[in-house]
């Protein structure tokens, strides 16, 4: 289908054919959902051994009675798990509750209200703002939006954020006090930042406002589908560049064990952790150490965690293959869409022709297939070109995903033809 070369008559014929197919699908009254990146029930079962693993043994190896209050930084054995995932020293890790997003919120709030490591609170700046590589993770943007922190779009490339743009923006605007990064299997593009990008990010601390922080959300650090993809270590790079204070890292076991009942980790320099702990102290007496101990026993060695992630990959791989084969079959030799081939993570990011994404989502919804709202991957929910759609293959069973993808490609074709007709 070469839309640009087609005559009006040709387009009208296509519209008629595609619309007839679409109407037939609507009659099936489907109810399918490929919106959020949740683990499937099969994946959750992999961690059911957590239940009962303590068997009455509540004391951690260091003697801590995990049933009691205390220990703001988390159990040492849980911090070790976080240190292994993020590849950082254990003294620089806090193990928290079940959500890294909560830790991110807390970390942004710390910068906003109190400032990090003796720097001015961000709220005292004229117009504090974060750089947001786009498309990106909607919940990062929601934190900034709620606190009234401005957001500046930066394009994502296949090696990470466009670093020329990042550096130019930071050099000219001292009110830029943060950047959101999902450095491995980025949400939603699946891109892993190149070593050069990591190095350039590590150097930003030299030119930015001293209160500037990189929010390094390594949510998919160990979520490789096949061979391990290497991400350069940002901590090492910042230490070498004498900018160790410029980065705060996050991870969690949300997509490792039970999504709603895992552990989250934050890692940073001792000065940053001191600022964070000051705020956390006012919020909590300490995390759920019983759950931390359950996880530490479940993954007594890092190799067990690796094996566990391999089992996740075996479940996820056919789902990614299903999505990708639908896209290839439908669009390989056309200009109706572009996508990346992710090597891990939870998403496939699809770009329609300009001005079609919202229409695709609407058509799919009418046919009973729920997609992430168009625009959700951009700050303020506004995709300036109305192109990006995030596909989350993990949750539905394979047969449902297969049906949902058939509907998806049909909706992309129909919306593209209609858009072209509109523009003639
Ligand atoms: C990039 C990213 N960060 C964080 C989260 C949520 O993490 P948590 O469950 O630890 O709050 C997600 C979930 O989809 C995510 O994609």
pLDDT at 305: 97
Domain ranges of the chain: 8-43+306-423, 71-300
Ligand 1 nearest atom to the CA of residue 259, by list position? 9
Cβ(211)–Cβ(275) below 8 Å: no
Residue 47 scores a pLDDT above 90: yes
CATH architecture of 8-43+306-423: Alpha-Beta Complex (3.90)
| pLDDT tens profile 237-249 | 999 999 999 999 9
Rounded to the nearest angstrom, the distance between the alpha carbon of 222 and the centre of ligand 1 is: 13
Distance CA 288, CA 51 (A): 15
Give the mean model confidence (pLDDT) for residues 142-150. Answer: 98
Question: Shortest CA distance to 148 belongs to which of 401, 380, 387?
Answer: 380
Q: What pLDDT is recorded for position 78?
A: 98
The predicted pLDDT at position 36 comes to 80
Q: Which atom of ligand 1 is nearest to the CA of 220?
A: 1
Residue entry with tokens 């589908």: 225
**What confidence tens digit (pLDDT) does each residue in 111-137 have?**
999 999 999 999 999 999 999 999 999
- CB of 187 closer than 6 angstroms to any ligand 1 atom: yes
Q: How confident is the model at residue 1 (pLDDT cuts 50, 70, 90)?
A: confident
The helix or strand, by DSSP H or E, that contains position 22, with its residue range, turns out to be: helix 8-26
Nearest CA to ligand 1 atom 13: 37
Does the structure show a pLDDT above 90 at 65? yes
pLDDT at 325 over 90: yes
For the record, the structure tokens of 423 come out as: 């523009």
Could you tell me the fold of the domain covering 71-300?
Answer: 3.40.640
Instruction: Give the bridge partners for 65, in sequence order.
Output: 59
For residue 100, give the ligand 1 atom closest to its CA: 10
Whether the CB-CB separation of 274 and 110 falls below 8 Å is answered with no
User: Is the per-residue pLDDT at 189 higher than 90?
Assistant: yes
pLDDT band at 46 (very low <50, low <70, confident <90, very high): very high
CB-ligand 1 contact for 264 (6 Å cutoff): yes
Residue 142 has, within 13 A of its CA and on its CB side, a CA count of 10
**3-class SS at 126?**
coil
CB count in 10 Å sphere of residue 227: 8
């Amino acid at each position: 289908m070469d839309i640009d070369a087609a005559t009006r008559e040709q387009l009208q014929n296509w519209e008629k054919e595609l619309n007839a197919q679409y109407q037939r699908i609507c009659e099936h009254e489907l109810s399918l959902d490929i919106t959020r990146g949740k683990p499937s029930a099969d994946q959750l079962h992999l961690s059911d051994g957590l239940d009962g693993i303590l068997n009455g043994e509540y004391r951690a190896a260091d003697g801590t009675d995990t049933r009691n209050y205390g220990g703001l930084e988390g159990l040492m054995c849980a911090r070790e798990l976080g240190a292994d995932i993020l590849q950082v020293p254990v003294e620089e890790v806090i193990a928290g509750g079940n959500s890294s997003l909560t830790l991110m919120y807390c970390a942004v709030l710390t910068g906003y209200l109190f400032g990090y490591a003796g720097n001015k609170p961000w709220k005292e700046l004229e117009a504090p703002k974060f750089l947001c590589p786009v498309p990106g993770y909607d919940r990062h943007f929601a934190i900034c939006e709620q606190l009234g922190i401005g957001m500046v779009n930066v394009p994502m490339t296949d090696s990470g954020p466009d670093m020329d743009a990042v550096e130019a923006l930071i050099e000219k605007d001292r009110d830029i006090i943060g950047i959101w990064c999902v450095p491995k299997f980025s949400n939603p593009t699946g891109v892993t930042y190149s070593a050069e990008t990591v190095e350039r990010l590590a150097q930003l601390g030299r030119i930015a406002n001293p209160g500037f922080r990189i929010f390094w959300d390594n949510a998919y650090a160990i979520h490789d589908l096949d061979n391990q993809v290497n991400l350069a270590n940002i901590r090492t790079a910042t230490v070498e560049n004498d900018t160790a204070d410029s980065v705060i890292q996050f991870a969690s076991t949300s997509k490792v064990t039970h999504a709603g009942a895992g552990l989250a980790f934050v890692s940073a320099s001792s000065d940053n952790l001191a600022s964070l702990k000051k705020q956390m102290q006012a919020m909590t007496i300490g995390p759920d150490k019983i759950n931390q101990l359950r996880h530490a026993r479940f993954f007594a060695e890092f190799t067990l965690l690796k094996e566990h992630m391999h089992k996740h990959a075996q479940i996820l791989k056919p789902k990614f293959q299903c999505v990708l084969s639908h896209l290839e079959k439908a669009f390989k030799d056309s200009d109706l869409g572009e996508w990346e081939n992710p090597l891990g993570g939870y998403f496939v990011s699809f770009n329609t022709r300009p001005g079609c994404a919202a229409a695709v989502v609407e058509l799919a919804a009418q046919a009973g297939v729920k997609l992430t709202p168009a625009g959700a991957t951009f700050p303020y929910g506004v995709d300036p070109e109305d192109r990006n759609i995030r596909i989350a293959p993990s949750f539905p069973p394979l047969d449902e995903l297969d049906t949902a993808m058939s509907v998806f490609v049909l909706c992309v074709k129909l919306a593209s033809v209609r858009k072209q007709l509109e523009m003639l």
